């Protein structure tokens, strides 16, 4: 059974561009962006997730009007119009690329035409168009669909009677020698002045003193 034709639909108007021939393949790509920060005393930079990248769809489309003996640019122009600014939107339109199980909400960011067959008068009748679509992410829609929670790596610990900083560091970090991290993070001049009931900040490690910028170990 033949696959249904791939279509590209303009979201706000409902206008549909049907692909003349289904593509042989397509590629969906995605990446993440990480920020790195060098900290004195570490053998390498600390890597922290910055943000996700939008997915991209790369596909080559074939247009052929040889049998009709007419200019293939009449067909490719329908695709290229999707990159132009819509007067109502003041931006190129949001699209839906659909083909069988492929459903992709996006904008068209690139279209590279190659004309590969011509009539005697020079009119092109066959073209391959390499296209790139970038996923369109609507912040309001994503906020409704995806639950986001702000990551908070700092914890609080209530000091029990008789506890010491080294004992707390041993339980929280697995190394009692990291007691100084707790002392600096909590602004303690005297590490032995630890009263029961005090809420103690337990920061993530490696810990950098916000005032001096130095790594605390």
Q: What is the average pLDDT across 53-75?
A: 94
Contact at 8 Å (CB) between 62 and 130? no
Contact at 8 Å (CB) between 157 and 172? yes
Question: Could you identify the residue written with the tokens 């600390």?
Answer: 46
Q: Which CATH number does 155-216 carry?
A: 3.10.350.10
pLDDT of residue 50: 67
Q: Which CATH number does 7-145 carry?
A: 2.40.30.200
Question: Could you identify the residue written with the tokens 């011509």?
Answer: 118
Confidence of residue 149 (pLDDT cuts 50, 70, 90): very low
pLDDT (tens digit per residue) in 72-107: 999 999 999 999 999 988 999 999 999 988 999 999
Q: Which of 105, 93, 194 is nearest to 141 (CA)?
A: 105
pLDDT (tens digit per residue) in 184-198: 888 888 888 888 888
Average pLDDT, rounded, for the chain = 85
pLDDT of residue 171: 86
When mean pLDDT is compared over 123-132, 138-147, 173-182, the highest value belongs to 123-132
**Total count of residues recorded for the chain:** 217
pLDDT (tens digit per residue) in 4-42: 889 999 999 999 999 999 999 999 999 888 777 666 666
Kindly tell me if the per-residue pLDDT of 217 is higher than 80. Answer: no
Q: What is the average pLDDT across 100-115?
A: 95
Neighbours of 170 (CB within 10 A): 15
C-alpha radius of gyration, the chain, whole number: 30
Delimiting residues of CATH 2.40.30.200 domain(s) in the chain: 7-145
pLDDT of residue 189: 85
């Amino acid at each position: 059974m033949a696959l249904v034709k791939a279509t590209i639909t303009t979201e706000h108007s409902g206008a549909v561009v049907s692909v003349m021939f289904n593509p042989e393949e397509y590629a969906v790509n995605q990446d993440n962006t990480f920020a790195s920060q060098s900290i004195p005393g570490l053998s390498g930079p600390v890597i922290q997730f910055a943000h996700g990248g939008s997915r991209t769809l790369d596909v080559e489309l074939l247009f052929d009007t040889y049998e009709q003996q007419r200019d293939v640019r009449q067909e490719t122009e329908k695709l290229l119009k999707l990159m132009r600014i819509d007067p109502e939107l003041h931006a190129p339109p949001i699209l839906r690329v659909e083909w069988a199980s492929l459903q992709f909400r996006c904008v068209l960011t690139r279209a590279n035409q190659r004309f590969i067959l011509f009539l005697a008068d020079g009119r092109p009748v066959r073209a391959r168009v390499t296209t790139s679509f970038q996923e369109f992410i609507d912040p309001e829609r994503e906020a409704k669909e995806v639950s986001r929670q702000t990551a908070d790596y700092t914890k609080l610990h209530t000091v029990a009677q008789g506890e010491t900083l080294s004992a707390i560091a041993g339980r929280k970090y697995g190394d009692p020698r990291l007691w100084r991290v707790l002392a600096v993070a909590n602004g303690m001049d005297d590490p032995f002045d630890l009263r029961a009931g005090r809420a103690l900040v337990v920061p993530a490690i490696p810990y950098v003193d916000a005032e001096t910028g130095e790594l605390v170990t």
